[in-house]
Amino acid sequence: MASHGSVFGAMLQEFEGAARILNLDPGLWKMLTHPKRQIIVSCPIQMDNGEIEVFTGYRVQYNITLGPAKGGIRFHPDVSLDEVTALAAWMTWKCAVAQLPFGGGKGGIICDPTRMSRRELEALTRRYTAEIVDLIGPEKDIPAPDVNTNEQVMAWFMDTYSMHVGHTSTAVVTGKPVEMGGSLGRREATGRGVMITTREAARHLGFDLQGATVSVQGFGNVGSVAAALLAQLGAKVVAVTDWKGGVYNAAGLDIPALLDYTQQHRSVDGFPHAEALDRPAIFGLDVDVFVPAALENQITVENADQIKAKLIVEGANGPTTPDAHALLHKRGVFVVPDILANAGGVTTSYFEWVQDRHGYFWNEAEVNEKLEAKMVQAFAAVLETAERYKIDMRTAAYIVAINRVATVTKMRGMYA
Ligand code: NAD
């Protein structure tokens, strides 16, 4: 199937490559390429000016064979059912790669949170939660933060759900504030997972991260933590870009100082002790490792040839288009795919859900130790598959994931 320019089409293209190698049964193929549930809701909100606005929200439960659906909620003007469905499918494969007892889901509301007040955002979150309340729950579907949603949004979500069911239910969402059942280490978990998979990949490729050069696109939750932890391992993070600009220092950027600067100025742009870098220049830098940690569709056929890094670790979801990925693979660039590289976030979300259900909380060292074990295991399973079939890591990750979901689908059998 061609991608037809849609995000879900791109997911299908990736799925197909793996399903063909697996010689996947045609019935399973059909089942695994259709979302189980797509929910569309209208959320009327009284805005601060007294007028009523109606916002469209989505929740997609792509597959729940391995357990309850799991995946974030995005607030963005460009949210579409196509995008939410693709993201829900990627969550399905990501949870399966990390061997979590979860299926895949995702939600989104078409809105521009930068133009909404805190009260309006709270009203929208609560109304959206109420509209989907029968379909979510700790055993059904467990949302989390995504683009433009945060711990506060999760707190409102959890409170609204709890009011509807009549008791406090912490395990209905992850990414909550630690004070109300969130997990220590959750905030850093995705970046930590990126660091762990970068380290494992470098070891496999036979180069030392000590002194290796790294560039990072995006300096938000994922990019900044990955940069800080890679620098702690001795890597030289020489370049960082964000929505506004970029910075470069051949001797390595001072990441803690850059973080402080970004907190004050909302961007890395203008950071002293570094040269300014044009945002697109991030692709052509002569570095060992490139970490795209910003948005979808950043590495395209237009810039893939400029990339000199021998290792790309996808912190973001879907940062490389399928055609660009094919070019990189042909050139021998080792790509750690998103569904493996950024699985640290959902893995620690799983730990949060486990802790909430037990009502017993672990210290941060325990969380990080368990995350380390899960990520190392997932990386090894995907690498072993890539070597066995002589294929790239993305196709291998899909093979691992599809195999796990397909095996359980067959065991559970057909209902009807
Ligand atoms: P974030 O909003 O905290 O940070 C995004 C960063 O990207 C910001 O620094 C922003 O300035 C930068 N950016 C935006 N447009 C850019 C551009 N055109 N060029 C360069 N930089 C640009 O988001 P995040 O939570 O760090 O997520 C980043 C990516 O990682 C997304 O694709 C997200 O879906 C994915 N992801 C996040 C998590 C998580 O736990 N936060 C988990 C898995 C995957």
The CATH number for 107's domain is: 3.40.50.10860
The residue with tokens 């210290």 is: 363
Structure tokens at 275: 């040269």
Q: Which domain holds residue 163?
A: 34-168
Contacts of 87 (CB under 8 A, 6+ apart): 7, 60, 71, 72, 74, 106, 108, 146, 317
Do 151 and 213 have their domain in common? Answer: no
Q: To test ligand 1's pocket by mutation, which of 90, 100, 190 has the most ligand atoms within 8 angstroms of CB?
A: 190
Question: How many structural domains is the chain composed of?
Answer: 2
Nearest residue CA, atom 17 of ligand 1? 243
The pLDDT of residue 5 is 66
> 254 and 337 share a domain?
yes
Atom of ligand 1 nearest to the CA of 223: 26
| CA pair distance 66, 25, nearest whole angstrom | 19
Buried b (16+ CB within 10 A) or exposed e, 168-206: ebbbbbbbbeeeebbbbbbbbbbbbbbbbbbbbbbebee
Q: What is the pLDDT along the chain (416 residues), one digit of tens a residue?
A: 344 468 899 899 999 999 999 999 999 999 999 999 999 999 999 999 999 999 999 999 999 999 999 999 999 999 999 999 999 999 999 999 999 999 999 999 999 999 999 999 999 999 999 999 999 999 999 999 998 999 999 999 999 999 999 999 999 999 999 999 999 999 999 999 999 999 999 999 999 999 999 999 999 999 999 999 999 999 999 999 999 999 999 999 999 999 999 999 999 999 998 999 999 999 999 999 999 999 888 999 999 999 999 999 999 999 999 999 999 999 999 999 999 999 999 999 999 999 999 999 999 999 999 999 999 999 999 999 999 999 999 999 999 999 999 999 999 998 87
Whose Cα sits closest to atom 18 in ligand 1? 243
The CATH number of whichever domain residue 247 belongs to comes to 3.40.50.720
| Judgement on whether residues 238 and 315 belong to the same structural domain of the protein | yes
Is 264 inside any structural domain?
Answer: yes
300 shares a domain with 200 = yes
Tokens of 407: 């095996």
Distance of CA 136 to the CA centre of its chain: 20
- Does ligand 1 come within 6 angstroms of the Cβ of 99? no
Question: Residue whose CA is closest, atom 31 of ligand 1?
Answer: 316
Q: Do 83 and 205 belong to one domain?
A: no
Determine the 3-state secondary structure of 122 from DSSP: helix
| Pocket flag, ligand 1, residue 243 (CB < 6 Å) | yes
**140 counts as catalytic:** no
Q: List the beta bridge partners of residue 56.
A: 42
Same domain, 148 and 275: no
Q: Give me the pLDDT at residue 3, please.
A: 46
Q: Mark whether 91 and 39 lie in a shared domain.
A: yes
Question: Which of these three, 168, 196, 227, is where a domain ends?
Answer: 168
DSSP state letter for 137: B
Show the CA angle centred on residue 218, arms to residues 216 and 223, nearest 5°.
65
Whether residues 197 and 257 share a domain: the answer is yes
Nearest-CA residue for ligand 1 atom 42 is 345
Q: Do 195 and 156 fall within a single domain?
A: no
pTM of the model: 0.96
Ligand 1 contacts CB of residue 220 (under 6 A): yes
Last residue of a domain, one of 109, 139, 168: 168
**Is 243 within a domain?**
yes
- Which of 325, 341, 357 delimits the end of a domain? 341
In-domain check, residue 388: no
Is residue 70 situated within a structural domain? yes
Same domain, 316 and 228: yes
- The answer to the question of residue 362 being in a domain is no
